[in-house]
């Protein structure tokens, strides 16, 4: 999130406001439809307990800087992608505690969870928003330094995300493989449905192709690292620094979305047929 902030200007937070249709579509897809679709899939699949709460945590995560990279590769509107990511990083501190406060008791009715809105908002704000704002501050105060550091910081962020996913899956491989058949259908459906929702909203609002591409990626490409960290904060502790069941869906999703985004990128670049 710090590397994201180093790539942002204050104008990135307001650019989307000058494109009301695109802003409406992004807010609808990321803040409203993503949790609703996730909740609907959980009801249809019958998934309950900690894993279901983990899916809802994931559904509230903003897109990370990786979504901006994928937007560029897919020939989408990168400036709009950056605006979406910047705004989502601010909204998450409010939307995630609210969504979890409503949905967690549905899946864990017997267990009292410490999901007070204010404490969780502060935690999420500290993880998802403060580093972005620090990066933006550096960008404004020391633009030359930020320009030199940002490419390396971006590469380091992507590397760290990969190491987090690979490391946690390696250390918890038996947990991953035992839960993959349970989680994969729901998470894969969530990913593909949200990509389709983004494209559908773009067509409905007659957005340019590049903006529809951006909307689709931002709707379907979530920041798994935030989900893993939030899950570890509110879920049960695990020995040896492994994944708890609240964090596991975000790790699985991180693997699945990396696989599904490849054909999408090729399609939007015109390198493979739409089918």
101, burial (CB in 10 Å: exposed 0-12, middle 13-18, buried 19+):
middle
Give the pLDDT of residue 52. Answer: 92
Give the pLDDT mean for 89-101: 83
pLDDT digits (tens, 9 = 90+) for 160-209: 767 766 776 676 677 677 778 888 899 999 999 999 999 999 999 999 99
Give the pLDDT of residue 48. Answer: 87
| Top mean-pLDDT range of 136-145, 201-210, 233-242 | 201-210
Lowest mean pLDDT segment, chosen from 94-108, 113-127, 201-215: 113-127
Checking if the pLDDT of 43 tops 70, the result is: yes
Lowest mean pLDDT segment, chosen from 115-129, 167-181, 255-269: 115-129
Give the pLDDT of residue 55. Answer: 94
* Average pLDDT along the chain: 81
Checking if the pLDDT of 137 tops 50, the result is: yes
Reported pTM: 0.78
| Top mean-pLDDT range of 49-53, 106-110, 115-119 | 49-53
Checking if the pLDDT of 157 tops 70, the result is: yes
Q: For the range 240-246, what are the long-range contacts, defined as Cβ-Cβ under 8 Å and sequence gap of 24 or more?
A: 240/171, 241/171, 242/168, 242/171, 242/172, 242/175, 243/168, 243/172, 243/175, 243/176, 244/50, 245/49, 245/50, 245/51, 245/54, 245/179, 246/50, 246/53, 246/54, 246/57
Domain segments of the chain as ranges: 2-268
- Which of 3.20.20.80, 3.30.420.40, 2.30.30.240, 1.20.1530.20 would CATH assign to domain 2-268? 1.20.1530.20
Give the pLDDT of residue 275. Answer: 42
């Amino acid at each position: 999130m710090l590397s994201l902030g180093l790539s942002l200007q204050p104008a990135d937070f307001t650019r989307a406001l000058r494109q009301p249709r695109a802003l409406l579509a992004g807010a609808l897809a990321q803040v409203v439809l993503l949790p609703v679709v996730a909740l609907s899939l959980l009801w249809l699949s019958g998934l309950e307990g900690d894993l279901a709460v983990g899916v809802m945590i994931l559904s509230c995560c903003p897109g990370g800087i990786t979504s901006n990279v994928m937007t560029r590769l897919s020939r989408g509107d990168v400036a709009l992608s950056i605006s979406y990511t910047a705004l989502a990083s601010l909204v998450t501190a409010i939307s995630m505690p609210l969504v979890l406060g409503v949905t967690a008791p549905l899946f864990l009715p017997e267990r009292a969870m410490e999901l007070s809105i204010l404490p969780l908002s502060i935690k999420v704000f500290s993880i998802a928003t403060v580093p972005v704002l620090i990066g933006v501050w550096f960008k404004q105060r020391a633009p030359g330094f930020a320009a030199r550091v940002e490419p390396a910081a971006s590469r380091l962020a992507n590397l760290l995300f990969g190491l987090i996913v690979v490391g946690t899956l390696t250390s918890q491989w038996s947990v991953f493989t035992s839960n993959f058949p349970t989680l994969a259908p729901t998470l894969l459906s969530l990913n593909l449905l949200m990509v389709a929702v983004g494209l559908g909203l773009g067509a409905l609002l007659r957005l340019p192709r590049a903006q529809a591409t951006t909307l689709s990626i931002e709707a379907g490409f979530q920041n798994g690292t935030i989900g893993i960290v939030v899950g570890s904060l509110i879920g049960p502790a695990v020995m040896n620094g492994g994944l708890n069941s609240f964090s596991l869906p975000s790790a699985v999703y991180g693997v699945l979305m990396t696989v599904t985004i490849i054909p999408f990128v090729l399609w939007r670049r015109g390198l493979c047929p739409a089918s």
